[in-house]
Amino acid sequence: MSHQSSIRDELEAAAWRHHWAFARRLAGKRRPARPQATRRSPESQPTTRKKRDSLIWQDRALLIISAVLLALLIIRVETAEADGPEESFFGLEFQGKAAEQRAVALDTGIQVEITGLTARVEVTQVFSNTGKGWAEAIYRYPLPPGAAVDRMRLEVGDRVLEGEIQEKEQARRQYQQAKSSGKTASLVEQQRSNQFETRLANIGPGDEIRVSISFLASIDYRDGSFSLRIPLTFTPRFEDGQADIQPLMFAGMAGSYNPAVSPGQFPIDDHRLTIDVDLRATMALSSIESSYHDVDIQPSLNGYHISLTDPDTRTDRVFELAWAPEFGTAPESTLSSFDDGEFIYAMLMLAPPLAEAISPQSREVVFVIDTSGSMEGTSLAQAKAALKLGLRFLGPDDRFNLIRFSSDSEQLWRESVPAYTDYLEEANGFIDELAANGGTMMAPALGKAMNLPEQDGLLRQIVFVTDGSVGNEQELLLQIGEELRESRLFTVSIGSAPNAWFMRKAAEIGRGSHTHIGRLEEVEDRMTGLWSRIENPAIKNLCIDWGMDAEFYPEIIPDLYAGEPLWLYARLPQEPRQVTVCGELEGSDWEMESRPLEVSGSENLATLWARSKIEALEDSRVFGTDPDTVREEVLDIALEFGLLTRYTSLVAVDKTPARPGTLDLESENVPSLLPAGSGMTSGFSGTATGWLAQCLLALFSLLVATGMLLGAGGYRSPMTSSVA
C-alpha cells in the first residue's frame, strides 16, 4: 500500500515537473503582478504543491474525457443505426421442467430425387428423449430458399402423426376445434420462411422421435453448372463448409431460445448422416461433384445415383452437389413422361449448343436506372457499379443508350450510339453524376426504352436496374406486354427488399431474366453472370408442336441461351408421339424433333406441372382474372396434387393420447397447424429511431462540455488564491 502510494507520489511529482512550466505560464499570464508565485520552489511549499497537483490532474482528466466524448460524438453523428446480427437455431429443442440442456443421439437420412430444375428432398431424423420426464419439444429444420415442407410424418414412441394438405379455412377450423376440446395449448404463430418448425408433445422418457419431412427445392444454375445445396448444419446461419458442431439442443425454459451453445457440450459420436441422391439427368453430363463430402457416383437407369462414401459422416456442414451438362454443337431436345392413369405429364428439355458453336450477334443494349429517393445510399452505389460493369462488356459492334428515372426521366442520347470509347466515357460520366431523389415513375422510362428508334437488325436488350418499389405492377406489366415487341427485358433488382415478384414477372413477360444484387460485393459476380448469359442468345422465338392439345407451362417460352437448358412442363391427354420444337437460330428458321427418353419419369413430373400451373393462375390475377375464380382453381389443383399454396396448409393432428394419467405434464396434446411457406412473407423492419437516447447523449455531452469551458476559467481561482 505504502509502496503504491509512493509510486503515485513520484508520478505526481514527475507530472508536476512536467507541467510546472505550463502552469507557471498560465499563472504568469493571469497574474503578471505576482512574480513570487512562480519563484517559489515546489519543495518549499508542499501543501500548495499538492493542491496544484490535484487541480492539474483534474484538469487533464477533464481534457481527456472531453476528447473521448468528442470522438464518440463524431462517431455518433456519422453513423446510422445498424441492426444486430440475426441468429437462429435448428434441431430439436426440448421444453421440459428441468432447466439443463440434454443431448441425444441423432441419425439423419436424406433422400433426394432431382428432376429438371427441382429436387424432391426427404429428410428423416431420429432423436431420443434421454431425460427422465415427459417433455414437449420444438423441431426446427433449415430450408433452402423458396422451399416449403409439404409432406410430413412424425413418430413419437408408438404414435404417428401424418401431415395432410388441407384448405386453410378448414385447417383453421379443425385446429380451433381441437383447441376448444382441450387438446392443445399451441399457438398459431407465423414463422420464418427459411425454416420449418413444428411442436411435438407428450414425449415420454426414453422415447424415440422420428421426424420425416419432405420439400421441393429448386436447383441453382450458374456459370454452366447446376447445384443443389441442402443445409444440414444445425448452427446459426450455416456458412459454406465451415461450421461448428451444434447438433441438438434441449432448452428447459419454455419459450426461451438459446442459440449460443459451445460445441464441446455435446457428445457428437452418434450423429450419423446418410445421403442418397437420384439424379435424373435428361442430358449428358460432363461432371458431378460434391463440394464438401466424399461421394460414390454410380450410373443408373435414370441417370446417376450418388451416395456418401464415409459411413461416419456427421451433420456438420452443408451438402452441395454440383453437376455440369455437356453441350453439343447443335441444340438438343429430350422428352420424359409419367402416366398417372388419367393424364400424361411430360417434361421437355431443351439444351442449347455450345457458345462457341453460335456466331455472336451484335445487340442494342438500353440501360434503364432508377434514381428515386429509395435508391439513396448503397442501392445507388450498387446500381452504378452494375451499370459500369455492363458498359465494359459491350462489343465494338454493339449499340447502347442510357435512361435514368425518378419523378421524371432523362435519356442520354436520342438514339442509341455505337459503343465507341468517346461514347463510353460520356456514359461513365453520366453514371457518376446520378443522384437519388424523387419518386419512382417507371412507366415513362420503360416506355422511352421500348420505343427508341429501331436499330436495323439489332436485337434490343433492355437492362432495367431498380429497387423495385412500385405500386402499379399490373399497369407496368401490361405496358411491357404491349410495347416490348421484339425487345427483351432483363431486370436487375437491387438492395434488401426488392419487389422480387414484379421483377421476375417483368423479365418473364420480357423473355429475359431476373438478376438480384443484394450486396455491393455481389455486383461483379451477378452482372458477369447476366452478361455471359445475354451475350449469346442461341434460339429466339421458340415454339413447340406437341402433336395434340397440350396444356404447358411456362406459357411465354423464353429464349434459349448458350450454356442454359430450358424446361417445359405439359399435361397431355395421351402418350406423345412426335413433339417438334421450332425457333430462330442465327437469324434463320430452325426445327427439330424431341427425343423421348426410354425410362419413364416419376410422379414429380405431375407435381412440377401442377406447380407451374398454379403459378400461372396466380399471375393471371394481376391481369384482371377474378380472384375468387383463381382461388377455386388453385385450391382444386393444390388439393389434388398435395401442394402448399396460399390457400392451403399442412396439418398434423395427433389422435392418440399417450401420457399415463398419473404423470404430470405442463403441456397438453398439441395438434400443430403449419403455416404454408408459399404465402407472402416479410421480415420485420427496424421500428425504433432511438432519438431519445441520442437526445440524452447530446444533452449530457453538452453539459460536460459547458462544464469544461467554465472550468477552464474557474480552476485557477483556488490555485492562485492558494499561491497568493
Partner 1 sequence: MKKPGHWLYAAVPSTAAFFSLLLLVQACWIPVKAELAQWLIERSWEKTLGGDPDSRPWPWADTRAQAILSVPSRGIRQIVLAGNSGRNLAFGPVFVDGSPNSRDRVISGHRDTHFRFLEFLQAGDLIRLTTRDSAKWYQVRYLEVVDSRFRELVIDPGLDRVSLVTCYPFDSLQAGGPLRYVVTAMPLEPRLQPIAENPRGLLQAPGPVQSARPGR
Contact residue for partner 1 among 83, 100, 269, 432 (CB under 8 A)? 83
Residue burial 35-47, b: 16+ Cβ < 10 Å; e: rest: eebeeeeeeeeee
Q: Residue 352 or residue 675: which is nearer to partner 1 going by CB? A: 675
Residues in the chain: 724
Closest separation in Å from C-beta 22 to partner 1: 7
**499 lines the binding site for partner 1 (CB under 8 A):** yes
Residues 9-28 that bind partner 1 (CB under 8 A): 22, 26
Could you say whether residue 437 binds partner 1 (CB under 8 A)? yes
Stretch that binds partner 1, among 79-87, 214-222, 325-333, 334-342 (CB under 8 A): 79-87
Q: Please answer whether residues 186 and 640 qualify as being in contact, where contact means their C-beta atoms are separated by less than 8 angstroms.
A: no
| Interface stretch with partner 1, choices 535-543, 556-564, 662-670, 674-682 (CB under 8 A) | 674-682
* String of contacts with partner 1 for each residue 577-606, x by CB under 8 A: ------------------------------
Phi, psi of 622 (to 5 degrees): -65, -30
Q: Of residues 221, 257, 292, 393, which one binds partner 1 by CB under 8 A?
A: 257
Q: What angle do CA 441, 446, 448 make, to 5 degrees?
A: 105
Comparison of 14 and 63: residue with beta carbon closer to partner 1:
63
Stretch of 262-270, 323-331, 345-353, 435-443 lying at the interface with partner 1 (CB under 8 A): 435-443
Which residues are CB-contacts of 226 (< 8 A; sequence separation ≥ 6)?
117, 219, 220, 322, 323, 324, 325
Q: Which is nearer to partner 1, 83 or 456 (CB)?
A: 83
Report phi then psi at 108, rounded to 5: -125, 125
What is the DSSP-derived secondary structure letter of residue 675?
A: P
Within 335-394, the residues that bind partner 1 by CB under 8 A are 372-374, 376
- How many Å apart are CA 680 and CA 618, to the nearest integer? 12
Among 211, 400, 675, 719, indicate the residue that binds partner 1 (CB under 8 A): 675
- List beta partners, residue 367: 402, 463
Window 626-655: residues binding partner 1 (CB under 8 A) = 646-647
The footprint of partner 1 on residues 289-318 (CB under 8 A) is none
- For residue 724, count other CB atoms closer than 10 A to its CB: 9
SS3 489: strand
For residue 282, state whether it binds partner 1 (rule: CB under 8 A). Answer: no
Considering only residues 154 through 183, tell me which ones interact with partner 1, judged by CB under 8 A.
168-169
Of the candidate residues 469, 607, 667, 669, the single one contacting partner 1 (CB under 8 A): 469
Which one, of 621, 579, 677, lies nearest residue 334 by Cα?
579
Residue that has been written with the C-alpha cell 437420384 in this structure: 278
Q: What does the alpha-carbon distance between residue 327 and residue 286 come to, in Å, rounded to a whole number?
A: 9
Which residue, 500 or 556, is less far from partner 1 as judged by CB?
Answer: 500
Minimal distance in Å, beta carbon 716 to partner 1? 8
239 binds partner 1 (CB under 8 A): no
Nearest to 370 by CA among 341, 406, 339, 344: 406
The three cell numbers locating residue 114: 432431382
Residue choice 471, 624, 660, 661 for contact with partner 1 (CB under 8 A): 471
What are 713's three cell numbers? 476559467
Q: Which stretch binds partner 1 (CB under 8 A): 67-75, 114-122, 279-287, 457-465?
A: 67-75
Q: List the one residue from 438, 518, 529, 642 that touches partner 1 (CB under 8 A).
A: 438
Three-state DSSP at 349 gives strand
Q: What gap in Å lies between CA 123 and CA 315, rounded to an integer? A: 12
Among 180, 588, 687, 721, indicate the residue that binds partner 1 (CB under 8 A): 687
Residue 698 as a binder of partner 1 (CB under 8 A): the answer is yes
How many CB atoms are located within 10 Å of the residue 84 CB?
5
**683 lies in the site for partner 1, by CB under 8 A:** yes
Which letter, b or e, does each residue of 504-530 get, where b requires 16 or more Cβ atoms within 10 Å of its Cβ?
A: bbbbbbbbbbbbbbeeeebbeebbebb
Minimal distance, residue 505 CB to partner 1, in Å: 14
Rounded distance between C-alpha atoms, residue 25 and residue 22, angstroms: 5
Site membership for partner 1, residue 88 (CB under 8 A): yes
Q: Which CB, 525 or 626, lies closer to partner 1?
A: 626
Least Å distance, CB 163 to partner 1, is 18
Q: Is-contact 275 291, C-beta < 8 A? A: no
130 contacts partner 1 (rule: CB under 8 A) = no
Among 3, 5, 29, 396, the residue binding partner 1 under the rule CB under 8 A is 29
Q: Which one of 94-102, 266-274, 414-422, 703-711 is the stretch in contact with partner 1 (CB under 8 A)?
A: 703-711
List the interface residues with partner 1, window 704-723 (CB under 8 A): 704-706, 708-709, 712-713
Please give the torsion angle defined by the CA atoms of residues 231, 233, 234 and 236, in that order, rounded to the nearest 10 degrees.
Answer: -80
Helix (H, G, I), strand (E, B) or coil at 573: coil
Residue 622, interface with partner 1 (CB under 8 A)?
no
Candidates 221-229, 265-273, 434-442, 575-583 — which segment interacts with partner 1 by CB under 8 A?
434-442
b vs e for 58-70, b when ≥16 Cβ sit within 10 Å of the residue's Cβ? ebeebeeebeebe
